[in-house]
Each structure stands twice: as C-alpha cells, then as structure tokens.
Amino acid sequence: MSAAKVKMREKKMRNQPASVQYPSSSSNVESSTQNGADAPGTGENADPLKGGLSEVHPSTERKKKTPHQSGWVRGHHKDGGGYTKEMPKYITAGAFARARAAEVSAMLKAVRKTTSSSHVFEALPKHMRRRAMSHNTKRLPHRLREVANRMREKSLQAGSKKKKEPAKSKSRKARRRHGNLLLEFNRRQRKNIWLETHIWHAKRFHMVKKWGYCLGDRPTYKCYRACYRAMSSHCLLQDLSYYCCIELQGDEDKLLAALSQLTSKEAGPTFAAALCLSGRRQGSVMVYRAGRYPSQPLGPVTFLWRPRTQGSVHRQLWIWAHPTLKQDLLPELQTVCQCCEAVIPPAAPVEVNPTLEADSEPENTPEAKPVPGTKRKRSRKDATGPPAKKILGDGTRLPSTPVSWRSSSNGIVINDLTMEIVRYRLIGPQSHSVLVDTLEAATGCDEVQKSQTCSLWWPQHCSDEAKMTLHQQQADIFNILKGIYSTAELPSGTVLGLTVDDPRLTLPRKRVKALPCVKQAQEVDEEKRRKLMLEGVPEPCCQSFIWEQSVRDNVTDNKISEQELNRMRSEVLVPGSRLSPTPLQGRVPILLVHQPGKQVGHEMSSWGAGWDLLLPKGWGMAFWIPLVYRGVRIGGLNMSLKHSQNKAAPHFPRDYPDCPAGMCFQEEQEAELLDKFKRHPPAKRTNYIKHGCVAPFRCPWQQLAEEWEIIVQEGGSQARTTAQADAVTEERTSQQAISITKPLSRFTVLRNRKALRLLSAWCRPTTSKGQRPCRVGELPPISCEAVTSFLSAHAMSLVWVHVSLLSKGKPEYHAMLCVPTPEDLKALGNRQGTGGPQEPPHRDHFKSRIKRRKKEPKKAATSSVTPDKPDGKEAELIFASDLDTNASKDPKSFSESSSDLVLGLWPDPLPSVASHCSRVTVGWVTQGDFSMSAGCGEALGFVSVAGLLNTLLNQTSEHKGKLLLRNPTSLHYRFAKINVEV
C-alpha cells in the first residue's frame, strides 16, 4: 500500500473504535479475560501482550505482534497472520456486553461527529448528500428536517442583527456629477488638508500624507534630469502652500522686544535687521525657545515686514514656518507676546435658500412633459439644502477653533493665517521671464465703472489718485524685469507688490516656453535696470493690498467661475482674443518675493535663485494653469530636497537633529527604514554587523558628541592617535553602558557665525576639487591653545560640513565620515587616484543566538512528545547553549535581549560609535548623491567639533581637511574633502 493510501486510511479510521483482541488460554482467569473481564493487575490501559484490552490501531498492533501470539483479530491476514484459528470455548454474557458497550459508544460518537462544518446534512452518508439540501430542507430525511429548520432560523436571525442591507451604490455617472463629486472631495479632506492644486497633482504625482497634508512627492514619469535642467537653465514650479503663516500686529517696539527673546545676533541677522524691518527684504532667522540660545533651537523661519505707513507706529509681520515647526513656534510666540486671550470667531451666517417660496407650492405647477431629444434634469425636490461649496483653506479645522489671540497688556495680536495665502515657488534663472509672460499689471477703470456703486474693491481703489500712482510705479518696475538676463542678478530677498489681471484671460491656446525677448530687453531703460539690480525695489513699491484681510476676502468671494468665464469667451467676436473690457472681478493683489540661491561657498554662486508668488486663497488654480502653460517643470517634495542639496543648505526637518521636529523626523525615518529592512527575506538583507555599521538607520549624535568629549578630556591638549582614542572610548563607553540608559539630548549644532568662520579658515576652505585656496582674513592659526579655548565653549557641538569625494563613488544616506590614518594619507600622496583602504569584515556575535532562539520552540515541542535522551549532536548543541548561558553575566538580560534581536542589526544599547571600526568615526552624512553640477559625488552632513579639531591638529597642511567616507553597505573607504562653508 502506498504512503498516500496509508494516510487516507488513517484519516478514515481516526474516529473508528479500536479492535479488541482475545488471547487464548486454558485457565478460567484467562478465559474470562478473553470475554472482556479485567484480570488482576490489568485494566483499560493494560498491555495487550499480557491479556488486557488493546486500544492500539491495527496497523500499530500488527508491528508489535509476537510469533507465538494466538487469538482472533478483525480483518484479513495472510497465512492467518501467525494466529491460531481456535475459537473460545465459552463466554460470560455480562463481561462480554460491557466490553462491547465501549465499542458501540465509540461507533455512535464517530457517526454523530461532523468533520468540518456543523451542517446537519453532513451527518448523512456521502451518497445521500445533495447540494440543494443547504437551502431546501425538504431534500433531507424526515428525522433531520426539524433540526435543519431550527439551525436555518438561527442563522437568519443572526444575519439580520449583524449585517445591514448594503446600500445601493450609485452609478459612475451619478458619482461623477459635480455636486456628488464635491461632497466626496469635502469628505476626504476631513483628516488631511488638500492644497488647491491637489487634484492636478493627484493625477500626475505619487501622493504622500505628511504633516497633516496630502502632498505630491515625485512625478509618476521620469523627469529627474529634466527638473535639474529646469532649475539650472529655465524654471521649476512648486506649490509651497502647506507652509504656515503666522501674522503679528502691534507696535514696532513691542514686537521687536518680544521677538528678541527668540533669536540671537551671534547666529546672524534677526527680526530687527534694517533692510528687513523696512519691508524691502525678506529675512530668515533661526528661532530658539525664549532665552535658551544656543541649547534649545526650534527651527528656521522666514519673515516679512509690511512697509511702514506714514505717521503710524503700528506694524504688521508675517512669519512663515514649516508645519512641523508651527506646533512649537505658536505657543512660544503666545508666551513672549503675552497673547493668552483667544478671540472666538464669529458664527457663520445661516444661508436662506431663495427658492423655498417657489418650491413651497409644487402642486399648483403642472409637470412639464419631457421633450424628446433633450436631457432630463434632476428634480429640485430631492435637494435637502443649499448646494455644497468647495473647501477653501483648512478643512480639518472646526469652526469654533480660535485662530486669533490678543494681549490685553501690550496690544499685540497673533493671527493664524494657515492656508489663507497660496504660495508658489519658481526656481531657475528664467523665473522672471515666466512671471512677466504670465502676469500683466491690472488695467484701470473708466469713468463709468468708477461711478457705479458695487462691493468690489478695485473701483474704490481706482478712485484714489495716490494709489493709482503707486500702482503705475509698481507696474513700471515689473516691466523692467523684461530686461534682466537672470533672476540671480537681483538683490536677494527683494519684495515687489503688484495688482494683476486674471491670468486666465491671457491663457495661450498651446503650451509655450517663456524665454527672454531681446527686443523687449532693448526697450528697457539701462539706467533703471542697473538701479534695480544694485538697490532693489524702493520701499513704497513693496506695499501690496494682499496684507489687508478685507481685500483678500473680497477677491476670494468675487472670483469669476470657470463656467462664467467660458460663457464670456464664447461671446467674443474673434475666437481666442482677450476679453475687453476686463471684468472688474479680475483684479488680484499679489506679492513677489525674491528667493536667494546658493549663498555659501565659492562655486555656483546664486544657483537656484527664483521668486515666490503670494496669492489670496481660492486663486490657486487660476494662476497654476497659466504658469504650467509657460513651459515650466513641476517639482514635488523630492525636488525640494535636491534643491537644498545643490545649494549646500540644510533641509528642514531632516538636517536639524537638535530641534524637536528633527528628532521626531529621525525616529519616524528609523521606524520606516527598519520596517522596510524586515520586509526583505533574511538571506537578502545586508548584515550591517559584519560591515561594521552600528546604526544604519539613524545617527546617534548624542553618543558621538559624548564619546569625543571623553577623548578630548583624556587626551588633554596633546594630539591623540587612533589607537589611543579607541582604547579611551571603549573603556568609558563600557562603564557608562550600565549606568546610562537614555541620556537627554544636550548636543547642539554650531550656528555661531564667528566660530564658523574660524573653523572654515582652519579647514582651508577650497572648491570641491581643491584647485584653489580661498582668501582668509586675519584669523589666528590652528594650535593646541586655540583648540582648547574653542572646545571650552563648543565641546558638545556638531558642525554642518560639505563633503566632496576625491575619486569615484556615490555617497549614500547615513554614510560614515572617518579619520584616515597616517598610512592612508601616505598612500594618497603616493598615488592620487587611490580608492582608499578596506574595512576588515566584522564578526556577527548575535547570529548564533538568533538561530538558537528559532530552534527553542521546536525543542520544546519535541521534548514534550519524546522526553528521551537526545542524540550526540543535540547533546552538544544543548551543552554549548548552557555554556553560553552560564558564561553570560546576566541570564535574564540574555533572554530579554534575544527576543528583540534582528539578524544583521546591533541591539540596544549600542557599542562605541566612534571607535567601533578600524578608522575613528567623526560624523555621518544626512544628504548624499551624485552631483550633476560638480560631476562627482557630494554629500552634506554633520561632524563632531571636537573630532574635527582633533583631526586637523594631527594632519599636515598638505592633507588638511581630508577624511574617509564609507557607505553603510560597503567595506570600502573613499577619500573626501570637507569644507565648513559660511
């Protein structure tokens, strides 16, 4: 019999009664035992070879039989199966009946027990079953119908309680109607905020949910190089409306006194910078908690002052912050400004349906008969209220949530203008050409339009001659932009206020690429162009009506709909021509803010400069489509990161590890990368322990700063070698691993401008390839005394560095920056194109523990079934594990840590991060890729100030500032040059 048939037979005989065996004997006792009675010393579980009942399966019994066994066994056996064919001479009725009762009960149990589900018809033999029995009980025999009907009623009652009748789904045509589609979109905006360009992005981008918004991450088509070319030669467009705007109003002196607690002059210009305070420039500043500089930073913000009004000390300030920074910045502003009184927003007015009276008497109006050939409109009877409106602004905010706070002591008012202003960013040298081609200065009103009384803001504005004169000056300056060759020629942060016509009125019929016109450039006055490039926009022309809340609301409420605009276009005599005169609703106040490009280093100066376009809410798509039709490229969050990387600027919140938002980002990214790592099969994962990478998914900055502080303290003023640093760090970290569980974050990023200039001079700042040295001012040279005095104030600090590879290679995220040994630098001097040393493979001490942990449940299962002595190999394995357990200092810690082990990753607490490898680590990379502008691999990251100075002291002037870079998945070091660019 084959193995399959044996398994099938065992499955069928699983619930059958076991066979009973009667060994033959001449004694009365044995005869009574044959009939089923229990002999002395026997029972139900007695051995069948000694005269007891056998509960063993026939197949098992046949294997254990003896050649001299006698009796009768059920079933056919060849040659009698070694049993005699003698029958018992007599039986005892009582004993025989008791023995057969067990068999009968087992048989009844097997018949009544169902194998799979609990249906009644499964109790029938297979040849009597029918498919219709499940819903027609009359197909069952009479004895089973009653039970089947009761079970059917129970199932119907349970289904009616739990399951609801499924709602009839609407057809796609009904779902795609404007009203139903709008309701669906409004419902989907309750959890995450949608930008006004969300639908446009959702059709072309991979969308991600971040910071409470739905944002476009990267396009669905290949355009990485095209976007870089757009930023370098034409224009790239991004929607930055998710940035939060906080408005402060009050007296200038009181505002500056409150904001001075959040900043420091040592880190750069503050809110009180002269050019920024006048309203002519946009400024950027690093914000700290009140009076906590430099220990508790919050993050970077950009700010914009409204130009002064003559004879008034009341000022208005806009602060733009990242969404993750707003939750920390807003409470801090309320504290320093003493704005604790929340202003409750007014209740929204209840709209009255104007068609109620007409619909109140539907019986008197006769029904209109449908005309063949025309569309049947929906009846107004189904409408339960006014039609749904598109959500503008923050749809997740409740109407009763306060958005304004007031101070009773100093009169300062804080307004939260999140999603109230649309912000677009144009990056590239031809950004001004795109703006000039897309926008046109607003045309004035004629005498008839001025005399008409209406609620629009522009006719009232045109009646004031002073305002119209200012508008004409702004239009003239805007036209001067036609004669500028590149956006980078203008002063950084220049602000220009303007009122423009609706750009939909001048929308081209085909998509064209906006380029500077030579003829228009020649018409521009050369003196005015030079004055604009040197001095920027005059202060009066920086004024804009977008600062006023009433004007913004008026423009948003009176926007011309697409349907009305298309109707007006259809009435034009010449198709495609502009509407004349321009509708009064088509004037929009805007604000143009110049964005500086690369401001550090000496290569690619002003790369990535552009303009920011500020609009009232509701006008996002009205300006987005005309800009797209001018041939710009569209970028998402991914291109924002690449833009910062090419500018050698830190990207928030990724490159701000000492800020709360940066710490939260690092934790989220570690969880995301770890989850991605665990999704791979164990055989396809990188073993980071063997690669000598302690933390491949995060950067333990706190531990790095502490270890280098220990190295500097132990070494004193003398320079220490790699071996000495290794010994000191290993000794100290082994002692602190027991006492310290998770220290508080005490490290800071060095942002002191004076200290950064000194570090930049000591690193001999050069270009990325190191061809020419830069001119350095009168700064003290590096020495042991200078380093000691510098570290006394910045020992626990990190510094932002720009890394350029000296040979081929592509830096990756979390790559290690290490100190080269004298032998490495000697090899580099002998052969400039050397690839660098190799890291010897490390040993994975946790791999055997993980394998033993996987075998533990199997051992427990086998030991419970067969508690016999193990074989030789198993005994050796158990003995080895016992040795390991006894050798460990704390067996409880081993059992706890072994449950959290992941193959290829170091468990917590981490070993020494500075001296874990053959080369001492001084920092990590946070941004890295192949640079298309430099033609080599470039990276950005942080290094320990103590480690950097210790390295610079030991290096010669020829190899000053040269480090080793190694990716987490590689054992190969590559030489790199670091620069502290200020």
For 72-104, give the secondary structure using H, E and C: CCCCCCHHHHHCCCCCCCCCCHHHHHHHHHHHH
Q: Is residue 238 in a domain?
A: no
> Strand pairing of 816-818 and 921-931?
antiparallel
pLDDT number for residue 1: 61
> Please, what sign has the CA dihedral across residues 148, 149, 154, 159?
positive
Q: Is residue 657 in a domain?
A: no
Q: Which tokens sit at 877?
A: 């394995």
Q: Is residue 623 in a domain?
A: yes
Whole-angstrom distance, CA of residue 706 vs CA of residue 739: 14
- Are 355 and 396 contained in the same domain? yes
Which residues in the chain show pLDDT less than 70? 1, 12-85, 112-119, 121-122, 131, 134, 159-168, 346-388, 395, 447-453, 716-745, 765-778, 831-834, 857-899
Concatenated DSSP letters of 853-889? HHHHHHHHHHHHH--S---HHHHHHHHHHHHHHHHSS
- Are 226 and 322 contained in the same domain? no
Max CA separation in the chain (angstroms): 137
Whole-angstrom distance, CA of residue 787 vs CA of residue 764: 16
**3-class secondary structure, 967:** coil
User: C-alpha angle 207/212/218, rounded to 5°?
Assistant: 20
Q: Is residue 675 in a domain?
A: no
Quick one: which H or E segment has residue 472?
Answer: helix 465-480
Q: Which of 579, 537, 684 is nearest to 676 (CA)?
A: 684
Q: Is residue 676 in a domain?
A: no
- Cβ atoms within 10 A of the Cβ of 555, count? 25
- Are 304 and 363 contained in the same domain? yes
Which distant-in-sequence residues (6+ apart) come within 8 Å of 910 by Cβ? 694, 695, 700, 703
Name the one residue in this structure whose structure tokens are 């991605």.
676
Contact 777, 966 (CB under 8 A): no
Give me the CATH number covering residue 813.
2.40.30.110
Omega within 30 of 0 (cis) for the link into 294: yes
What strand order describes the sheet that includes 213-219? 193-194, 213-219, 205-210
Whole-angstrom distance, CA of residue 283 vs CA of residue 298: 17
Give phi and psi for 638, each to the nearest 5: -65, -40
pLDDT number for residue 128: 76
Which distant-in-sequence residues (6+ apart) come within 8 Å of 298 by Cβ? 262, 287, 288, 289, 325, 328, 329, 332, 659, 660
Quick one: which H or E segment has residue 345?
Answer: none
For residue 220, which amino acid is it? Answer: T
Q: Which tokens sit at 321?
A: 């912050």
Name the one residue in this structure whose structure tokens are 């009768």.
72
Burial 116-131 (b: 16+ CB within 10 A, else e): eeeebbebeeeeeeee
Query: Residue 963 pairs with which residues in a beta bridge?
Result: 976
pLDDT number for residue 864: 47
Contact 21, 73 (CB under 8 A): yes
**3-class secondary structure, 816:** strand
- Average pLDDT value over all residues in the chain: 79
> Strand pairing of 421-427 and 610-616?
antiparallel
Q: Is residue 91 in a domain?
A: yes
pLDDT number for residue 807: 87
pLDDT number for residue 54: 39
- Are 835 and 850 contained in the same domain? no
Contact 279, 305 (CB under 8 A): yes
Name the one residue in this structure whose structure tokens are 């357990």.
885
How far, in whole angstroms, is CA 151 from its chain's centroid?
51
- Are 476 and 335 contained in the same domain? no
- Are 817 and 709 contained in the same domain? yes
Which distant-in-sequence residues (6+ apart) come within 8 Å of 15 by Cβ? 106, 109, 110, 113
Whole-angstrom distance, CA of residue 577 vs CA of residue 508: 10
The Cβ-side half-sphere exposure at 505, using a 13 Å CA radius, reads: 23
Which alpha helices (DSSP H) does 832-977 contain, by range? 847-865, 872-887, 891-899, 945-954
Contact 41, 90 (CB under 8 A): no
Contact 501, 618 (CB under 8 A): no
Q: Is residue 168 in a domain?
A: no
Concatenated DSSP letters of 204-267? TEEEEEETTEEEEEEESS--HHHHHHHHHHS-EEEE-TTSEEEEEEEEHHHHHHHHGGG--GGG
pLDDT number for residue 5: 81
Q: Which tokens sit at 231?
A: 């930023």
- Are 745 and 887 contained in the same domain? no
Q: Which of 782, 776, 783, 781 is nearest to 757 (CA)?
A: 776
| Of the residues 401, 416, 431, the one at which a domain ends | 416
pLDDT number for residue 874: 38
- Are 800 and 935 contained in the same domain? yes
pLDDT number for residue 315: 93
The Cβ-side half-sphere exposure at 526, using a 13 Å CA radius, reads: 1
pLDDT number for residue 574: 82
End-to-end CA distance of the chain: 86
How far, in whole angstroms, is CA 681 from its chain's centroid?
24
- Are 636 and 505 contained in the same domain? yes
pLDDT number for residue 17: 56
- Are 428 and 301 contained in the same domain? no
Whole-angstrom distance, CA of residue 976 vs CA of residue 961: 9
Contact 446, 434 (CB under 8 A): no
Query: Residue 236 pairs with which residues in a beta bridge?
Result: 427, 633
- Judged on CB neighbours under 10 Å (0-12, 13-18, 19+), 354 is exposed
CA dist list (Å): 705 to 443, 655, 692, 747: 61, 17, 19, 7
pLDDT tens per residue, range 818-860: 999 989 888 887 765 567 899 999 988 888 888 777 777 666 5
Concatenated DSSP letters of 741-784? SS-----EE---HHHHHHHHHHT--B-TT--SBPP--S-PPP-H
> Please, what sign has the CA dihedral across residues 141, 147, 153, 155?
negative
- What's the number of domains the chain is made of? 7
Q: Is residue 429 in a domain?
A: yes
> Please, what sign has the CA dihedral across residues 804, 805, 809, 812?
negative
pLDDT number for residue 583: 83
Contact 663, 745 (CB under 8 A): yes
Whole-angstrom distance, CA of residue 236 vs CA of residue 424: 10
- Are 220 and 323 contained in the same domain? no
- Are 411 and 441 contained in the same domain? no
Name the one residue in this structure whose structure tokens are 């199966």.
81
Which distant-in-sequence residues (6+ apart) come within 8 Å of 24 by Cβ? 30, 34, 70, 71, 84, 86, 88
| Of the residues 388, 416, 444, the one at which a domain ends | 416
Name the pTM for this structure: 0.75
C-alpha R_g of the chain: 41
pLDDT number for residue 968: 94
The Cβ-side half-sphere exposure at 873, using a 13 Å CA radius, reads: 0
> Strand pairing of 797-805 and 936-944?
antiparallel
Query: Residue 239 pairs with which residues in a beta bridge?
Result: 424
> By residue range, what is the domain housing residue 71?
3-112
| Of the residues 355, 388, 416, the one at which a domain ends | 416
